Amino acid sequence: MFNLVIFGPPGAGKGTQSEKIIEKYQLAHISTGDMFRMHIQNDTELGTRVKQILADGLLVPDSITIDMLEEEVTRNKDVRGFIFDGFPRTVNQAEALDAFLEGKGCKVDLVLQLDVDQQVIKERIAERKKISGRADDDESKLVKRIDEYFEKTIHVLPYYQEQGKVVKINGVGDIQAIFGMISEAIDAAI
């Protein structure tokens, strides 16, 4: 198994690059944001619990997120590995993921950090809002999401840096060129 975490602030291009990675390396894609949105759309019990949290741009509590993720990993049998997109977002989630994967005899092999500065993020999300219609792409909610990122999520980085797993990629520029750098990092780690 080869397990990859794609890491970066909202609007860094995690979803875009994940699609390319999946196609080339045939990993199973797990996006906790997409999963939450699916639950909300389908009016599930979980969806009802998290709807307002997402709308406010806040993080869903760890226990809910971790349970949902572990279920999804377990459901995907016989895969070559996973790409975790939007997870882990807290050190607690990172520790839970390590323990969970260890129980399965595998680990996080690589963390790709997509590096994009705050001004670029704001511009990209303003553009995305026009087509995504995502309520949390509103300016006020975006500020909240960026705050959550710098308060809670950024600490996941040193956690993985200590394990020597992080490769930093410049997330600004041509999508294909960024994917080229990502491919090099994966090929070196796989």
Phi-psi region of 73 (alpha: psi -120 to 50; beta: other; left: phi over 0): alpha
Q: Binding of ligand ADP at residue 32 (CB under 6 A)?
A: yes
Would you count residue 28 as binding ligand ADP (CB under 6 A)?
no
Binds ligand ADP by CB under 6 A, chosen from 2, 6, 7, 10? 10
Among 2, 7, 36, 179, binds ligand ADP (CB under 6 A): 36
CA torsion, points 134, 119, 20, 98, in degrees to nearest 10?
-90
| Closest to ligand ADP by CB, 50 or 105 | 50
Tell me the C-alpha to C-alpha distance, in Å, between residue 151 and each of 29, 86, 179: 26, 15, 28
CB 40 to ligand ADP: min, Å: 10
Question: Alpha-carbon distance 36 to 185, whole Å?
Answer: 29
Residue 135 vs 177, nearer CB to ligand ADP:
135
Distance of CA 122 to the CA centre of its chain: 18
Q: Tell me which of 3, 13, 86, 101 binds ligand ADP, using CB under 6 A.
A: 86
Tokens of 85: 């997109």
Distances (CA, A) of 117 to 39, 57, 147, 171, 185: 31, 19, 14, 9, 21
Catalytic positions: 14, 89, 128, 134, 145
The answer to whether the bond into 88 is cis (omega within 30° of 0) is yes
Site string for ligand ADP, 121-150 (x = CB under 6 A): ---------------x--------x-----
Among 46, 53, 126, 167, binds ligand ADP (CB under 6 A): 53
Binding site for ligand ADP (CB under 6 A): 10-11, 14, 32-33, 36, 53-54, 57-60, 65, 86-87, 89, 93, 136, 145
